[in-house]
Amino acid sequence: MLSHLTAENTPQMVNVTEKQATKRIARARAVVAVGEKILRLLDETGGKELHTAKGAVFQTAVIAGIMAAKKTGDLIPLCHPLPLGHCQIEITVSEAREIVIDCTASIIAKTGIEMEALTGASVAALTVYDMCKALSHDIVIREVKLMEKRGGKSDFVRE
């Protein structure tokens, strides 16, 4: 039986009442490919920050990602609302010249934190798109994926 369905196949929130709280950490990644115009602007700053008419792109994306991670329970149906212990967003430019956004979230709780990390990375990527679209629409959010999770029933690390 799926954890989010009752025996009668109706949706339910997973009952974590009897579980023990443990330390849980998750890291998710979003990859954003941008066109040559935006890459040239990134080159001018050494890949550290990008400024548009809307402001500092990476700094704004970091704030948006953290805010989104904190709101995950409001956005994803049946997701437990969790008081994050910590959330960090790191944005870099890879050797492949793509913007890489890593969101790491941690908590001591009865349920996992993967959705918060995935939501943070996703919204940070969407923010990069929104702030850069006036420069070029040649922007693709290539992927959003869980890179690792620790704590709970099992650990996972993507190679």
With contact defined as beta carbons under 8 Å apart, do 44 and 135 qualify? no
Please identify which of the residues 102, 130, 138, 155 carries the catalytic annotation: 130
Q: What is the DSSP letter of 21?
A: P
User: Among the residues of the chain, which ranges form H helices?
Assistant: 36-44, 57-70, 72-75, 114-132
Told to judge if 130 belongs to the known catalytic residues of this protein, a careful annotator would answer yes
Q: Give residue 25's identity as a one-letter amino acid code.
A: I
Question: Which has the closest alpha carbon to 135: 12, 42, 4, 14?
Answer: 42
Question: 């934190």: which residue's tokens?
Answer: 113
Tokens of 1: 């039986």
In the chain, what are the helix, strand and coil shares in percent, each to the nearest 5? 30, 35, 40
Catalytic residues: 130
